[in-house]
Amino acid sequence: MTESSSTLYIDGEWVPSSDGGTRTIICPADGTEVGVVAEATGEDVERAILAARKAFEARTWVETPAAERGDFLIRVSDALLERKDEFARAEALDTGKRLVEAEGDMDDIAACFRYFGKIADQSPGRLVDAGDDTVISRVVHEPVGVCGMITPWNFPLLQAAWKIAPALAAGNTFVLKPAELTPHTAILIMDVLDELGLPAGVANLVLGDGAVVGAPLSSHPEIDLVSFTGGLVTGRRIAESAAHGVKKVALELGGKNPNVVFADADFDAAVDNALNAAFTDSGLVCSAGTRLIVQDTIAERFVDEVVRRAGDIVMGGPFDEKAETGPLISKEHRDKVTDYVQRGIEAGARLRVGGHWGGEEHQDGFFYAPTVLDQCDRENPAVIEEGFGPVITVETFSTEAEAIETANHTEYGLAGAVWTSDAGTANRVSRRLRHGTVWINDYHPYLPQAEWGGFKSSGVGRELGPTGLEEYTEAKHIYQNTEPAVTGWFPQK
């Protein structure tokens, strides 16, 4: 896909790595080469950070009226939709996900840019009543400064958009480091920003390994905020690194998400959405509902139907029209999922379906079949750990109180769902779940105008919604005395 190694975008210019290093990107569905991109060095990252600092201090973008910044983001949305096929194909090749899923992602990304474009001039600032007619007191929100952004490989451009759009809306500059395995849509969105005339240095792109390229974005003194989406272990390291510089952090660190099904739920809808919750995008979704928690009176019948339908799911590559789910991102990740399932079985779980790499036609890619582990104890490692793959674990409950306690028995708190026909049950349980998003009789929908983020170890801060914009600002109190006078506190002598 890429024909040039000049794929770093620094200070308004497309440049190669300072040492000429490159990385070959392959499609995880079949191992074919997608393209060759530059592999940044520490020197490249330094240049990008300093370019972002220079652009912020120049204040060209900061002082662009908020309404104009918003109009720019709406033009980004329009440009992305005009090139939707190009973007979706690039995302599908990098990730291996089905083209239809990548196309849906592009619609969501365009909606994200449009939303933040529309609210860019809706300042949360306010006047404060000082109780004194001679005083004008106001709170304003100003851009935080230079933002470091580190994004994952499961939704490469979507996760980048959730950060880029509010950061630009608020008047910040940034350095983006996408996952090293899935860089192409990050390159394309930088091309859009460049073509639309974003001032040099406002947006910068560095590609490469996290240890070399990502680490400086949380530790460099010229970074004011670091926003990271990814695993808990890496997130903790980033938080620790950022703490030394007392930087603002925004962390979305995944989840172990309960999908709670009561006996009075719409059976067919709950079964269908249990599959959707866990196996969409090959289960490579931070909010995937992989903890299936079913009321004991319907558990056997319900799980049997989930198992039957899971066994019928067709795996395939991005452009296979028969495919219903795709591969994992890499051999290394497939090995992790394989080990995760094996440890779950060794701890007492019963393998009902899946647990393998597919058939002969799947051996060139990194596929893992939709899997169901039944009869899981709550201390089973497959229940406790985020497997990040197409694997459902099954637990049961008898009472509402037990359902709530079981669903909250996790260090994570990103998302969850409740399935019931009783409005009272739905309201009580949804309010008691310690998770940042709770669906009632549905799974996965989100809105750019509603906040997204987690409780507990699932992260710090929120993306999307008005709060998602405020994350990229600092509140400042300005107190103005309109009738200055001598205080007499220290009398003249």
Using alpha carbons, select from 208, 210, 247 the residue that is nearest to residue 226: 247
Q: Residue 268 corresponds to which amino acid? A: D
Active-site residue identified among 39, 252, 400, 471: 252
Q: CA geometry: angle at 50 spanning 47 and 52, to 5°? A: 110
pLDDT digits (tens, 9 = 90+) for 78-135: 999 999 999 999 999 999 999 999 999 999 999 999 999 999 999 778 999 999 999 9
The overall pTM is greater than 0.95? yes
How far is the first Cα of the chain from the last one, in angstroms, to the nearest whole number? 79
Pairing of strands 291-295, 350-353: unpaired
Q: Across the chain, what does the average pLDDT equal?
A: 97
Mean pLDDT, rounded, for 357-364: 95
Q: Name the segment(s) of the chain with CATH classification 3.40.605.10.
A: 8-253+458-478
- CA 189 to chain CA mean position, Å: 17
pLDDT at position 180 over 60: yes
Q: Which residues contact 151 (CB under 8 A, 6 or more apart)?
A: 159, 160, 163, 176, 177, 178, 179, 186, 229, 230
91 is catalytic: no
pLDDT digits (tens, 9 = 90+) for 4-36: 689 999 999 999 999 999 999 999 999 999 999
Q: Name the segment(s) of the chain with CATH classification 3.40.309.10.
A: 258-440
Confidence of residue 263 (pLDDT cuts 50, 70, 90): very high
Q: Which residues contact 94 (CB under 8 A, 6 or more apart)?
A: 25, 27, 34, 153, 156, 181, 182, 183, 184, 185
CA distances to 23, 164, 354 from 6, rounded to whole Å, are 12, 22, 42
Considering the four listed CATH numbers 3.50.30.20, 3.40.605.10, 1.10.10.10, 3.20.20.150, the one that applies to the domain covering 8-253+458-478 is 3.40.605.10
Pairing of strands 135-143, 473-481: antiparallel
The CATH homologous superfamily of the domain defined by 258-440: Aldehyde Dehydrogenase; Chain A, domain 2 (3.40.309.10)
pLDDT digits (tens, 9 = 90+) for 346-358: 999 999 999 999 9
Residue 56 to residue 50: CA distance in whole angstroms: 10
Residue 411 to residue 481: CA distance in whole angstroms: 49
Give the tokens for residue 297. Answer: 């009176």
Mean pLDDT, rounded, for 309-317: 98
Q: What is the pLDDT of residue 3?
A: 56
Beta bridge partners of 35: 25
Mean pLDDT, rounded, for 299-314: 99
